[in-house]
Amino acid sequence: MTDPLLITLADALANLLISIDMTDDDDVDPDVCVPWFEDVGDKLSRLSVDDRYRLAQVIREVAGREPDAQRQAALLETPDHLGLEDPDDE
């Protein structure tokens, strides 16, 4: 059973990140956004390997419920973009 808090936080974080990423560069300056993404990635890298893999799994579950194909594809790429499943960790 998955914790509703984890699902909600993973959903909110992943959707916020892809919304920023999918926004036109004229609306959101990439030079401003890159440090945000790096900060999120850095904080998530501090999680245990098991927690990072679990978060990746939850984000994929969120993607599976996304009706918009473009957003779903972006959500499915999010664990990789955040470095949640590094093969060197195994």
Structure confidence at residue 50 (pLDDT) = 94
pLDDT at 17: 94
pTM of the model: 0.86
Instruction: Split the chain (90 residues) into runs of 10 and give each run's mean pLDDT.
Output: 85 95 89 92 94 95 96 96 79
Alpha carbons 25 and 43: distance in angstroms, whole number: 25
In this prediction, residue 86 carries a pLDDT of 78
Predicted local confidence at residue 2, as pLDDT: 65
- What phi and psi, each to the nearest 5 degrees, are found at residue 71? -70, -40
Nearest-angstrom CA–CA distance, 36 and 68 = 25
So what's the pLDDT on residue 1? 47
DSSP assignment of 20-72 equals HHHS-TTTS-HHHHHHHHHHHHHHHHTS-HHHHHHHHHHHHHHHHT--SHHHH
Contacts of 42 (CB under 8 A, 6+ apart): none
